[in-house]
């Protein structure tokens, strides 16, 4: 599997679409910091601070699912010839389980690196060029990333399951959207009459992205050890479910 992962890592490192998407995100962060620093020179401008810059990350946790989907779509190349490497690998005798798990683990490494790098770059730029708010923004950022990571892994596993096996981004987005967003809403509605569905909806990862504000600060779903454990169980448990589902799907379908 390691040899296959090395070749897959090489393909992702040379993935032009992935590189451009990452650079666009990076450029937007640099541009935002530059704009805030520029206007921060003017008296009365209250937004040139680390608190304002970082707040855009930890108060927008619902945005990590669409962003994960975008990166997953670029990593899973959907060109007309995308099946050729898979067909050649199977013909060469590489087990389908090795192909599926190897590709997923590489994509997980790439997404983890992006998940860490983008906030790290924004944090560094904010610390260097913006006023330090000291309002707990560093704690909130770290706390949001600790709790949000397993949910990102779950979203990646869902995207990989459908995008890899369907082979088309537009067709793959529909079941992803239904499973991640629509099903929890259906469970919530059914839960008004049948409590078991309400409990199921609370275990859906998208339900764990909500946060609220009060006088004491910002509160995430995973603020307590019990809810943090629940977040990891839901995220990683869902990841295993879709990993096995995608692998079963790959073993059953014909490679053309």
- DSSP assignment of 123-168, as one string? HHHHHHHSB---SSHHHHHHHHHHHHHHHHHHHHHHHHHHHHHH--
Beta strands in the chain (DSSP E): 211-214, 217-220
Tally DSSP H helices, then E strands, for the chain: 11, 2
Characterize 210-239 residue by residue with b for buried, 16 or more Cβ atoms within 10 angstroms of its Cβ, and e for exposed.
Answer: ebeeeeeebebbbeeeeebebbbebbbebb
Measured between alpha carbons, how far is 38 from 183 in angstroms, rounded to an integer? 45
pLDDT tens-digit profile, the chain (256 residues): 788 888 888 888 888 888 999 999 999 999 999 999 999 888 878 888 999 999 888 888 778 888 888 888 888 764 444 445 676 677 677 888 888 999 999 999 999 999 999 999 999 999 999 999 888 899 999 999 999 999 999 999 999 999 988 877 778 889 999 999 999 999 999 999 899 999 999 999 999 988 888 878 889 999 999 999 999 999 999 999 999 999 999 988 777 6
SS3 46: coil
Strand partners, 211: 220
- The two three-digit tokens of residue 128, written as one number: 């260097």
- What predicted TM-score, i.e. pTM, was given to this entire model? 0.90
* Joined tokens for residue 39: 């206007």
8-state DSSP, 255: P
Tokens of 89: 């690998």
Apex CA 175: angle with CA 87 and CA 60, to 5°? Answer: 110
What one-character DSSP code corresponds to residue 254? P
């Amino acid at each position: 599997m390691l040899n296959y992962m090395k070749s897959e890592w090489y393909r992702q490192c040379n993935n032009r679409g992935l590189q451009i998407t990452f650079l666009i995100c990076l450029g937007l962060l640099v541009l935002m910091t530059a704009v805030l620093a520029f206007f921060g020179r003017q008296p009365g401008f209250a937004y040139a601070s680390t608190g304002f810059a970082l707040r855009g990350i930890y108060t927008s946790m619902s945005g990590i699912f669409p962003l994960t989907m975008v990166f997953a779509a670029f990593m899973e190349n959907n060109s007309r010839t995308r099946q050729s490497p898979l067909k050649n690998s199977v013909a060469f005798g590489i087990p389908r389980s090795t192909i599926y798990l190897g590709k997923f683990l590489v994509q997980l490494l790439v997404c983890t690196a992006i998940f860490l790098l983008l906030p790290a770059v924004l944090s560094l730029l904010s610390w260097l060029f913006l006023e330090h708010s000291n309002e707990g923004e560093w704690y909130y950022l770290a706390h949001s990333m600790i709790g949000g990571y397993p949910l990102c892994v779950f979203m990646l596993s869902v995207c990989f399951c459908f995008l890899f096996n369907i082979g088309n981004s537009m067709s793959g987005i529909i079941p992803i959207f239904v499973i991640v967003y629509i099903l929890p809403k259906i469970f919530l509605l059914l839960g008004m009459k049948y409590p078991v569905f309400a409990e199921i909806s609370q275990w859906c990862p998208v339900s764990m992205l909500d946060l609220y504000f009060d006088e004491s600060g910002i509160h995430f779903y995973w603020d307590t050890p019990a809810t943090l454990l629940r977040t990891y169980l839901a995220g990683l448990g869902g990841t295993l479910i879709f990993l096995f589902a995608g692998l079963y799907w790959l073993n059953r379908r014909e490679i053309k």
